[in-house]
Structure formats: structure tokens, C-alpha cells
Structure 1
């Protein structure tokens, strides 16, 4: 990228000569006042700009395994909710506090149809309708009249591949559920394995990390592990040494500003270039190509390996929730471990989640998992985290809500700042394509099955004779790969895959001419 920090979407520190104050030796005193966070992008409660925007999209709110014989208390977008599966198999997501007198339905009894409040016995259906009021015998008409006068707050919900999705916006603005490439392009023999990882910080810094394709070169590099305290990372334990090479990044808005293609080119060896495209989608979805690529074999148009939403719990907590695609179609090296993917666990990158060494749980039950400490410095593994921090530590240590006005970005931060800019344009309605109504109309136009730019590729492109030409080749490859993916956007399934692979082959040949 040639973009400079002055062009990036970041608020400037208010008052005084900020640059001069930062350059004074031992000048901490002149930088000890912490500005406010950026409420437009970070706050997601009801009535806030980002909160209202997010409520116009479907979000996963919990895993299916969290719905047991008792209700599951949740907090999503600052709202206290209760999720349950009733006796008929229907999923309900209701406001937690009973509309009658405010007792929490987390203590309610799940019925064959709906849920019964523990306090006075009101029964509510999954759509919020009151099904039963326990008035005395002989007062049935009065009970029926009362039942018709109240309704519990409810959100439409459904289950898909082990996740529970809910729509928390106005019912008359409900968008289609986005079936990315018709069920997320899972090849025969592969499957979507659900997981959910809690994060003790604002949602945006978690989402920022997904667009930050440069941090693996430092955070996940074995050479930075202190005193032999080795962090098992994606790239050193199951991936390629090339992932420790700083990537040449190109960040390209796609789908009329509804998403961002983050294309990173790395040289595997003198004969091969690894080009990985991650796809960030407004407001909080990220689609990731194969995380364990070693680049040893040529590979064109490999697809999803991680599908992940960053869902706000409240303004200072969030969770990464989505699917890992498991199986031989995507995991060509066979290094994934399905048994390690689930509730507060993941099968790669120690330090990705709050609970380290998840293998100690083995086959677990939800209620057997230890609680997550509210203060990360009180964790039993805090010292280990200091020796070898992971994404979790880097993300939450930015403060509960990162202060954007204190950031000093470089050009390799351009992806996350571009995504923030796209979010701001969507929230403000300055890009009609990405505002909620425009996004929903687009989904309807593509029959709810949009194409993704996510792909992993290993090209047989020899190293250039000069550094300057090598840099030019990497950047050209990234830009032309995204351009080809954009050209293919009107095609579907096998026809699109053939078009893309044929064009990628021709592109590869052009570097040898």
C-alpha cells in the first residue's frame, strides 16, 4: 500500500501540538490524558448509530450446545436475553425480564411450547405471545383478555450447523440470511464445525484484528518467544515459515463497499508465491482462507477455512463465534483437530482464546468448563501469556474499548482503517449500497447467496531478478487475483470455480513470459 497515515480513518488527538508532545524525552506527563473512545463505531446499545445498524443483520448469538434443558442467559448488543429450545424443537430468543413483573426467564421452565416464568407462571411462545396466564378457575375470560394485552420481547431465531442465529432489528426490515455461496462452499467430506470464544473487550478491536494481516509476522513468530517458553502457533506449529515473512498487502473494497478484500502475497521459496485473500464483510463477518498453508504444493482457489462473526456482548465484551471448516477438502495437510473446536476452545494458536491449553478439557460438558476470570491478570496462566502472548492478549490489552485517537498508524494498518471507514459510511448512510436497506436489497438480488473473495492460492511464480521487480510482481499478483474474483461475481458454483482457476492459470503463465 502507498496510503499514508494522514489519509487513514482515525480521529486526531484533540488540543495542543500532539506531535511535539510525543517527541519530548521522558514526556509521559504530556501524554497522560486519555481521550474518549470513538462512540460512533464502538458503542452498540439500542439507539446508538452502530447498534441500530448492526440490528439490521443476522448474528449468531450462541452455540446450539448451549441450549440444554434449562434456559441460556445471554447478553447481545447490550440486551439481556434468554435463549432456549422448547419441547417441540423450536428456538426462542426472548428478552430476559418477564413483561409481567421483571423476573428473569433464565429461571423459567421450558415447555412443550414456549417457556414459563418461574415467578407467576406466565407462559410465552417463541414469538413473544402470551400463551397462558394462571388466573383462578372461573376467570378464564379475564385471563385470556390479559394474555392478549401483553407480549414478551422476542427475536426471530433459527439453528444452523450448531449455531443459533437471531435477527434483532425491526421485523419489517428483516434481511435475507446470507448463504455465502450456497452453504459456505463446504466440499464433499468437509463440515462446518461451530465454535464460540469470549473476548474481554469491545467488538471492534477483535474485528480489527481479522483485517490486520500484518501482525502474524511479530505476534506469531517463534523467534520472539522468550526463554524457551514456546507458543504453539498456527504458522510455526502447523503452517509455513513463509507466514513469518512480512506480507505485501493490498486492500481493495469489493461489492460496492460492502466488503474488503485483504490480499497478502508472501514468497514461499524461489519458485512459489503464496497469495491469501481474506474477505471482511460489513458489519462484523470475516471469511478466512486456509490457516495452515505451507505452500509446498501449487494450489488455486482454495476456499473457506474460518467463517467468523464478531458479536458485541456489550460495549466492553464480545465474542468470536462461527465455524471452522474441517475435513480433507480444505485441510489438505490434515492438521486440524475437530475435538478441540467448540465452546471456549479452538484447535489452533494457543492464546487465541482466554482459556489456554484447551486439550486439558478433553471431552467436556458445558457445565464442567471453569469460569473465565473477569480480570485477565488473575488467570492461572498469566505468566505464560506474558512469555508468549497470543491474539487474545494483544487485543484485550488495548483497553476495554480501544482509543482510536491515540493510534499512530502505518501503511500496513491500512486494511483495518479502510474497514472502519466503510463502517462509518454505512452507519451514516453516505454509501447507499452498504447501508442496511441497500445491503438487504443486494442480498435479495443475489438470491441470498453472495460470492466471497476469500481464497488461498500457491502460484508457481519464480522469484524476480531484482527486489524492485519482485515487489512489483507481488503487488500485481494481488491486484489481478482480486480483479479476476470480481469478474467472476456473476457466476455460481462450479462454473465460477472453473472460470477463476482458468484465469489464475493464465495469470501465472503471464509471469513466466
Structure 2
């Protein structure tokens, strides 16, 4: 029996030392010792490198429907918080533990202005100021003096299209809220529908999945479902067979390393080429083109279908929270289900979320839903998940925090590894343009509405007559599409869209010549 020892390029421990692994049949003993995770990128608590970087950006923390007549307990970036909407309509995101004696404000009473702690009746405004101290009558001056001496930890919060966003960094460094392309480029016929899906694992492996453009070929292919046990009525990217084709990928850092364009070319058939460009933005935003494209007809510069942040809850839990764009402008096949988009629910591939079978929530309130147990293996959907796993199962099964030094990457993992490097450069300051401060300056220059590379495109380009020529054609077209999008960055709105479509048309005609 032969034994090999290979040094695997790119396989390193969290300390940077190269890992040498023995390739031995039945050699589990040699790989049974699990090294530590990468704290620089995965840990997000106060004072950690990634935690401090993330606190320089706005993050969605919950859905607006979660703000009911009682406070909403949250954990975000390893901090215990409560969110509420007071009687005046103002939104508060406060530290959970009362600054007086530490009782949780999740049991507080929402007031016309602010929230009252259940323990001793202190009232705090949405900015953290103490509005009322219940001292006995006759001691008003002492109460006022005490109120001026304390302040509850608070973060600025805003509401956008059914999501609550908070800025958790230094108040003097607050960045503009990024209104990508002026309210996220939704056609007049369409709308941004909010959703929030809990993920029982570290934030980075969820974000990695967004840059992993190869996994649909296996994970979302109906042919790989065991025994035909499909996830209800949805699978095969809701019938889009073109998504099962392994794409030729082109990854390009954009906007001075603040984002990554992930462009993939897939052959729909001998006459059409599908080029999907996804846009990853530091630190945790991803912008996705149409997920259900079947390539049936020519389409140029189709825009956002999913806008999604991966928000750390703590180091072993996170949220996918954002908007699904619904309407005929983006959903040209008319198969979206708005009624299935919301809290712990999405309208495609049940395996995207922890709680399968969203129809079980009919007639329940948001308070009913959030009380459902979270151990996914205890649910009746576990067997269904084994038959037809989705993104949720694949991602959380990488361990609560994925161990990067155990990975053996291939060329098609290049996007997520490049994005990790961009994160590391931003955190370490080796790319100053990607720092939170310079990112904020850039947003101000862009009037808070930068352009996105996100687009879905179906071009009438025939397949080349040899495999070699076809590969070269796909890769050349993908690179040219990213170059056109870069060239278009000097325009805005309709002028940019017209420019891009004209250039894509020219590219299509040149490819036929």
C-alpha cells in the first residue's frame, strides 16, 4: 500500500503555516485533528478586526413586521439589542440591558416616546437619553440630575422598504445609507419585498455561498435529488435548466476593490448564451440577477432580483436579510410567489431557509413564528432535507464556523477566495480605498447611489464549431461584458442602461460575424 504526502497550495492553518496531509486509504486518523477557524474574518464582536470594520457600515437588523406592540430582542454583531417602534413612530435600537441595573428591555413597555424598563420604570428615548426617572414626589430635581448622568447604549436606525437598518459604529463617522442606483433599480411595475432567513452558522460561509457560482450545477439540479423526493413544487431553480450548466467564470475586483463582479457564461442551447453577472460588495452585501432565467429569448441588462446582506448574529449564527424583487419587470416568467416571501420564508427552493414548508405559517402571527424551535434536525423536514438538500443544509453543515485551513479549493472557487482576500485587505488597511471611511467618502461622491454591475443577459450567439473555439468565445464575451459595465460607470440611470444595451447589442453582432 503506497502512502503519499502532498503539500496542498492554498491550504494553510489560521496562523499561515502550510498544512501537509497524508493521502492514505482509510486514513481518517491523520485528519481527525481539527485546527481552529480564521478569527480575522469570522469573528465580529466589539474590538475584533472584522467586527470593527463591519461597524463602519449600515446593516439590516430585522424586518419591520418584527416591530410589534412589544420590543424585539435581537443579537447583531455579538451584541444583545432590542428594537422597537414607539408611539410616535420613531425606531429605537438599544442595548438590551438597562444601564440602571441590567434588566433586559425586551420586557420593557413601549411608550409614546421611548421605552420603559420593567424593573424600575426608567424611560429611554430612541437616542439612548433618559427621559424619565421614577423618583418620589418632591425629588424631581434629583431625578432630573440622575437622568442627565446616565445614557442607554443606542444606535441610529432607519426603515427602508420593510427592513430596519442600524448603524453600529462611532456616531461621528456615520456613513451615508447606500441607495444603490437610487433605490435599488426597481422597474415601475416591480417592488422590493423584504425577507429574513436565519442561518445557524458563521456569517462568512453564508457570504461565500453568494460568490460560489458553481454550486447550482450540483446542489440545485433535480437530477441529484434522491429518489425524486423534491422540495414541494420548487427545484431546478424553478425550472431554469440553464442554471444547471457549469459556467465559465470571470472574477474582477471593481470600484477600487470595494466590490467584486462575478460573471458567468452558460450555454442555454446552440443558439443562445446566458451571461449572469453578480455583484459582491464589501463587507457583506450581494446583488443577484434573475435566479430563474431559462434563456428562452434575448434579454439585455436585466437588473436586480435579490438584494441581500449577510448579517452576523454572533460568531456561530447569522441572517440572510434583504429584498426579493417581485413583478413582471424582473420576473419575466411570472413564477414568483410574493405570499411566500417574508420571515423565515422564500419563494424558491425551500432548502434556502431553516424552516421548510412555509405554508405551516398560515394564520400565525409574527410572534407565533419566532417562537418555533430552531433545532433543524428535530423538525419533520430533516428527512426531506437529506433527500433534497438546499443552500441552508450545505452551508451550515460546514461546521458552525468553517475551517478554511481544511479546504482544498479548485479553480471554480476563485470568486469566494478573491472576496476573502479583498475583505482581509480592507480589514488590514492594505487597500485604503476599501476602508469604512474611504468607502463612506466614495458613497458621498456617488450621491449615495453607486452603479451596480448586477445584470442578467441572454445573447443570440451561436455555439462555435469546435470545443476550443467555444470555450474561447464564452470567456471572451464574459470579459467584454464586464469591461462594458466598467465603461458605463460614468453614466447614471436610463442613460447608462441605454449605453450598456447598445454595447451588448454590438458585442452580439460582432460575435456572429
TM class, shorter-length: over 0.9
Q: Partner residue of 2:79?
A: 79
Cα deviation, residue 368, structure 1: 2.5
Name the SS of the counterpart of 1:155 in structure 2: strand
Aligned equivalents of 1:429, 1:101: Cα separation in 2:
39
Could you list the per-position Cα deviations for residues 325-372 of structure 1 after superposition, in whole angstroms to 9, with x for gaps in the alignment?
A: 000100111100100000000000121101111123235421232645
> Whole-Å Cα distance in 1 between the matches of residues 8 and 180 of structure 2?
35
Residues 460 and 508 of structure 1 are in contact (CA less than 8 Å); yes or no, is this contact kept in structure 2?
yes
Shift in alpha-carbon separation, 1:14–1:99, aligned structure 2, 3 A: closer
Superposition pairs of residues 387-406 of structure 1, within 5 angstroms: 387-406=387-406
Provide the C-alpha distance between the structure 1 equivalents of 2:241 and 2:273, rounded to a whole number of angstroms: 13
Instruction: Give CA-to-partner distance per residue, 1:435-486, whole Å, 9 cap, x none.
Output: 1111111111111110000000000000001101111111111111111111
Q: 1:6 to 1:427 in 2, by over 3 A?
A: farther
Aligned to 1:511: 511
Alignment correspondent of 1:138: 138
Give CA deviations for 1:157-216 in whole Å, capped at 9, x if unaligned: 011100000000000111100000000001011000000000000000000000001000
8 Å CA contact 1:272–1:458 kept in 2: the answer is: yes
State the alpha-carbon separation in 1 of the partners of residues 149 and 351 from structure 2: 50
> Residue 291 of structure 2 aligns to a residue in which SS?
coil
How many positions carry a matched residue from both structures?
507
2:499 counterpart SS class: helix
Residues 340 and 148 of structure 1: CA distance in aligned 2, closer, same or farther (over 3 Å): same
Q: Tell me how far 1:301 sits from its aligned partner.
A: 0.2
- Going from structure 1 to structure 2, the CA distance change for 1:509 and 1:232 (only over 3 Å counts) comes to farther
Find the counterpart in structure 1 of residue 225 from structure 2.
225
Sort the Cα spacing of 1:490 and 1:205 in 2 relative to 1 into closer, same or farther, 3 A: same
In the TM superposition, what whole-angstrom CA distance separates every residue of 1:203-252 from its partner, at most 9, and x where no partner exists?
A: 00000000001000001111111112123586626232121111111111
Query: Match of 1:11?
Result: 12
Judging changes above 3 Å, is the alpha-carbon distance between structure 1 residues 350 and 242 closer, same or farther for their aligned structure 2 residues? same
1:109-508 → structure 2 map (5 Å cutoff): 109-231=109-231, 236=236, 238-369=238-369, 371-508=371-508
- SS at structure 1 position matched to 2:447: coil
For 2:500 and 2:247, locate their aligned partners in 1 and report how far apart those are by CA, in whole Å. Answer: 23
Q: Is the 8 A contact 1:235 1:292 kept in 2?
A: no
Give the SS at the match of 2:320: strand
Give distance in 2, aligned partners of 1:461 and 1:17.
45
How much has 1:11 moved relative to structure 2? 3.1
For residues 233 and 470 of structure 1, the distance between their equivalents in structure 2, rounded to whole angstroms, comes to 35
CA distance in 2, matches of 1:231, 1:220: 11
Q: 1:182/1:7 Cα in 2 relative to 1: closer, same or farther (>3 Å)?
A: farther
Task: Please report the TM-score for the alignment, with normalisation by the length of structure 1.
Answer: 0.96
How large is the Cα RMSD of the aligned pairs? 1.6
- Asked if structure 1 preserves the Cα contact closer than 8 Å seen for 2:12 and 2:18, the reply is no
> 4+ residue runs of structure 1 moved beyond 4 angstroms?
5-8, 12-20, 232-235
* Separation of aligned partners in 2, 1:235 and 1:229: 10
Range with greater deviation from structure 2 (65-74 or 220-229): 220-229
Gaps spanning 5+ residues in structure 2: where? 1-6
Mark the CA change 1:364 to 1:50 in structure 2 (over 3 Å): closer, same or farther.
same
State the secondary structure of the residue aligned to 1:300: strand
| Contact 1:108–1:118 (Cα < 8 Å) also in 2 | yes
Which segments of 5 or more consecutive residues in structure 1 lack a partner in the other structure?
Answer: none
Provide the rounded CA distance (Å) in 2 between the counterparts of 1:158 and 1:361: 28
Q: Which residue of 1 aligns with 2:3?
A: none
Give the match's secondary structure for 1:210. Answer: helix
Question: Within 2, Cα distance between the matches of 1:232 and 1:70?
Answer: 35
Please state whether the residue corresponding to 2:228 is helix, strand or coil.
coil
1:284-342 deviation per Cα after TM superposition (whole angstroms, max 9, x unaligned): 00000001111001000000000000000000000000000000100111100100000
Q: Deviations over 1:239-296 (max 9, x none)?
A: 3212111111111111010000000100001110000000000000000000111100
| CA deviation string 1:70-99 (max 9, x = no partner) | 000000000000000000000000000000
> Is this contact kept in 1: 2:91–2:126, CA < 8 A?
yes
1:376–1:382: 8 Å Cα contact kept in structure 2? Answer: yes
Q: Which residue is equivalent to 1:93?
A: 93
